[in-house]
Structure 1
Amino acid sequence: MAGVSPEEVRATLREAGLDLRPDEIALEAREDRWLARLPGDRMAWFPANGEGERRLAADRRLLCLLAERCRFRVPRVLYESGTGFDLRAAVPGLCDPVALYARIAADRAVARRLGHALGLVLAEQHGRIDRPDVAGWLPERVPWPKPISWIRERLPDVTNDASLLARIDRVLEMQDALDVPEDDRSLVHGDLGVHNIAVDPANGDLRGVFDYDGAAWDDRHHDFRYLVFDHADESLLDTAIAAYEPAAGRRIDRRRVRLYNAASAICYLAYRRGIAAHVRHCGRTLAEDLAWVRKAVDLVL
């Protein structure tokens, strides 16, 4: 279904035993897919094309594997249709990235508890799924950041700061030169951050993790890159690593985490090509994207 309406979704969901009013269905377009938010912490996903069908099939398979092997909460598949759509139970809790970011910056106790919980989640996710479990259907490279050639082509259309572009190029060369040991590869979420977790609205404690669409069998360090924030305190990252290392039996290289953070920031800057400076693209204005890039690059060089 290339395009859908609440009425069409309503008719389709009857297959899954749901009879909803059109005004109870909130539709969102999501890159080759449609998301329908439903009452009762439920959601339905519909493919918009063949690629969307492939992505949803892989996502369902991974969610079921995580639910089987791990103790932390992820979206639960309630119904799978032969036509490609599925019905899921969402992770209950609050997802408000802006508010959670501010709360972490202001309250170290919340940051430490959340970091500790995320570290244990990652230890399970990285350690309880083996390569044969996902071989042949899960990508072996995270989709973000994009290839260096893609980034370099777009950046000059976003900023003409020659000094910054030169420093960015050094960071990209460092990333390109990385040789990731095979035993550092695991199942990575690929986009783990405050935007893809649900927390208790009262105390900020972790309830669960969602959006595994960018998952891959890649360097475990990618899952720590968005725990590096642009404020001075690193309680979230510190406690995540402190909980992770003994639980996973693996060391985390902070330099590599910061390099991935910088590469991701640079890619978001390149992604702004053709977007007006004042527009919040992926949640940030051009000034905010530049501030993130400068801070991230400073941490690497």
Structure 2
Amino acid sequence: MIKRMLLSLAAILWVFIVNAQRKAFACTPEWLEKIEKIAPDTPVTQPKKERTVLVFDKFTGYQHWAIPHVTAVIQLLGAKSGAYTTDVTRDLSVFDPSILEQYDAVVLNNNCSIHPRRNQILDMLDEDKSLTEAQKIKKAAQLEAHLLNYVKNGGGLMVVHGAVTMLNGSHVFNQMVGAAFDYHPPQQGISLELAEQGHPLLEGFEGKSFVHVDEPYIFKSPYEEKNFRPLLYMDTDKLTKKRKPIDEKIKYLSWIKRFGRGRVFFVSPSHNAQSFEDVRLLKYYLNGAQYVLGDLKCDDAPLNNK
């Protein structure tokens, strides 16, 4: 009886914690001050030269409430550590090669597109009533190609959480990122495990798992190819309210990979800004940024080659 009561109390407490960790709040100066206090003072490796990052945080589909927080965190990490400077935009014109070439890396921040088409570039071009449907399709293909070529030719790309859906209907974009989004069960407590002890990008976790509240993303092709170096994973047996059976016990939620001469970092955490109140995640984001910028050298050979 006592054991059952304790288990019930623990379950109630966990529900309270989960609800608290998913509660939305504004990105205030007070919150940013709290983050700045714990953010790394220096990068894990010194930049080879002055680096500039472009954050694109426009969305057309689902609005993640933490978008402003993610953008602010990326700016803060670069400014405090000296690893890079940051520009922010929501303008499609940035995918012009003459603009992209000014940046060492692009960060796609939760750029969720409208379902089921899943093409944010077309979503945004729909706002231009002067274009015919054929012109929109042609221009969307050109802008996507500019981004793909930018990375192929050596640019860095950091894809944060819902940004995996930005061009989810594009096989080439999915190949570049490493996966396409399928669905996710409801938000819940997730234990992120380290896929490779001792990997330089994971040094901030000090060999321990990272528990937080998030949407556990499930991916589809080309995820099955495992054409990436996995860094964080979850145990799908521990997930609740799964919409359908999951074919693998281990599902990766963050990885790095090469695309042509460029570097890609996909990081699913976090849907909620509360997760950034842990210095370990801040270090992970900074390390990932330094990887795509080309300053943090590490093994990024894909899993399917190991």
| TM-score, structure 1 normalization | 0.27
- Decide which structure has greater helix share: 1
Larger RCO (CA under 8 A, 6+ residues apart)? 2
